[in-house]
């Protein structure tokens, strides 16, 4: 058996995995730093879960954008679509005409409609994705403000029940000052996030669509030569992104319980930043889907750290920008060193397993 192992051909680490590893290492370092410097808050498991609880929608938006970015495109309408879905669902629930399932269907429908529009225009009419999704963003924002301007709180009992629904983890938790054990709580949105991450990871790693998408993102011309239906692949990537944006809108509504004009604002920029931190390049063809949640976690941890440090609110944006800068420069240096073959990710000889 041992001889079999050593005969295995050595495969060079792909760019996707290298960037993903960098992202993972940086996240671990960042969280470790947070644990050491602010043990009071970061030592509690609830803090970690709260990153998911309150930002489930951002995680989902990032996932959808990641699929498009791997295909070499971009979708900047995701935040606006997310906001539109929250308002439309809130209005449907408040009008008393629909139940929670109806709202979910509405959310999926809006997302699908935007995805189909973007996909058709970009893939089959070959229009630049930035402009089309910019138009989609304007359309969603315009529809949102036309629908309703004031914040709309959903008071429907079934939905409020869903909003307040929490899953307690009995074996994890903290003991407060009075000695009462408080179990950790997660919200249903987190389960949606986990399910979607697993689903998309499987989709991108093992399905034909996923492999086609990597090929198309890497080089469109050679993908066509290989017999891949490029247009169909790009079309489906945008449809998936739109659907995901719809789901994220519903999850957003489940978290906050109110439709508001500001919902989902700047999500597209945050999602792009998270994806870049997760090692997914805007050029396309490079990136591991699991990098998307890792990148989002890194971004959120940075924000939490800055908040815990008590930095003035104006410096917060600057510090997070600086960290993004350091991150991007680090990524680029590693990639260029790798390109010059000066840097190889192999174990040093004294660490290698003894060869027979």
Which residues are near other proteins by CB under 8 A? 74, 117, 121, 124-128, 130-132, 134-139, 141-143, 145-146, 149, 269, 272-273, 276, 281-283, 314-318, 320-322, 324-325, 328-329, 332-333, 335-336
Closer residue to other proteins in complex, CB, 159/267:
267
Residue 14: which residues within 8 A CB-CB, separation 6 or more? none
Q: How deeply is 164 buried, as exposed, middle or buried, from its count of CB atoms within 10 A (0-12, 13-18, 19+)?
A: exposed
- Cβ at position 256, least distance to other proteins in Å: 22
Phi and psi at residue 80, to the nearest 5°: -65, -40
- Cβ at position 15, least distance to other proteins in Å: 13
Beta pairing, strands 181-186 & 167-175: antiparallel
- Cβ at position 39, least distance to other proteins in Å: 29
* Closest of 95, 118, 122 to residue 106, by C-alpha: 95
Q: What angle do CA 323, 194, 181 make, to 5 degrees?
A: 85
* Closest of 103, 105, 73 to residue 89, by C-alpha: 103
- Cβ at position 104, least distance to other proteins in Å: 24
Closer residue to other proteins in complex, CB, 226/269:
269
Chain CA centroid to CA 208, Å: 22
Cα–Cα distance, 60 to 192 (Å, whole number): 8
Helix axes 267-277, 78-95, angle to 10 degrees: 130
Structure tokens at 348: 């040093």
- Cβ at position 199, least distance to other proteins in Å: 27
Cα–Cα distance, 290 to 179 (Å, whole number): 38
Closer residue to other proteins in complex, CB, 149/166:
149
Residue 60: which residues within 8 A CB-CB, separation 6 or more? 192, 193, 196, 244, 247, 248, 251
Q: Give the helix/strand (H/E) hosting 184.
A: strand 181-186
- Cβ at position 298, least distance to other proteins in Å: 14
- Cβ at position 155, least distance to other proteins in Å: 24
Place of tokens 């978290």: 255
Cα–Cα distance, 48 to 173 (Å, whole number): 12
- Cβ at position 217, least distance to other proteins in Å: 13
DSSP, collapsed to helix, strand or coil, labels residue 127 as: coil
- Cβ at position 303, least distance to other proteins in Å: 11
Q: What angle do CA 218, 345, 295 make, to 5 degrees?
A: 60
Q: Are 238 and 73 in contact (CB under 8 A)?
A: yes
């Amino acid at each position: 058996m041992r001889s079999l192992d050593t005969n295995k051909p050595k495969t060079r680490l792909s760019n996707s995995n290298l960037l993903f590893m960098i992202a993972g290492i940086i996240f671990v370092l960042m969280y470790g730093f947070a644990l050491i410097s602010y043990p009071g808050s970061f030592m509690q498991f609830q803090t970690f879960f709260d990153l998911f609880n309150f930002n489930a929608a951002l995680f989902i938006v990032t996932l959808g954008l990641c699929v498009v970015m791997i295909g070499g495109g971009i979708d900047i309408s995701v935040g606006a679509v997310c906001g539109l879905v929250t308002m439309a669902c809130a209005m449907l629930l408040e009008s008393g005409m629909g139940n929670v399932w109806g709202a979910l269907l509405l959310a999926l429908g809006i997302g699908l409609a935007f995805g189909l529009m973007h996909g058709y225009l970009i893939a089959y009419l070959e229009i630049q994705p930035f402009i089309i999704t910019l138009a989609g963003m304007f359309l969603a924002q315009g529809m949102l403000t036309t629908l309703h301007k004031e914040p709309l709180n959903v008071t429907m009992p079934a939905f409020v029940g869903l909003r307040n629904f929490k899953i307690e983890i009995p074996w994890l938790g903290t003991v407060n000052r009075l000695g009462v054990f408080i179990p950790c709580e997660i919200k249903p949105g987190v389960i949606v996030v986990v399910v979607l991450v697993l689903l998309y990871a499987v989709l991108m790693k093992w399905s034909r669509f996923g492999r086609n998408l990597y090929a198309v993102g890497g080089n469109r011309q050679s993908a066509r030569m290989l017999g891949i239906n490029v247009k169909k692949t790009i079309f489906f990537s945008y449809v998936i992104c739109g659907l995901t944006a719809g789901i994220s809108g519903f999850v957003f509504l489940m978290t906050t319980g109110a439709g508001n004009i500001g919902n989902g604002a700047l999500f597209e920029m945050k999602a792009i930043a998270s994806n870049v931190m997760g090692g997914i390049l805007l050029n396309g063809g490079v990136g591991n889907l699991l990098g998307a949640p890792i990148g989002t976690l890194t971004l959120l941890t940075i924000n939490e750290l800055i908040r815990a440090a008590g930095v003035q609110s104006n410096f917060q944006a600057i510090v997070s920008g600086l960290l993004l800068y350091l991150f991007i420069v680090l990524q680029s240096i590693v990639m260029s060193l790798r390109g010059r073959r000066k840097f190889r990710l192999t174990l040093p000889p004294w660490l290698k397993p003894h060869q027979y």
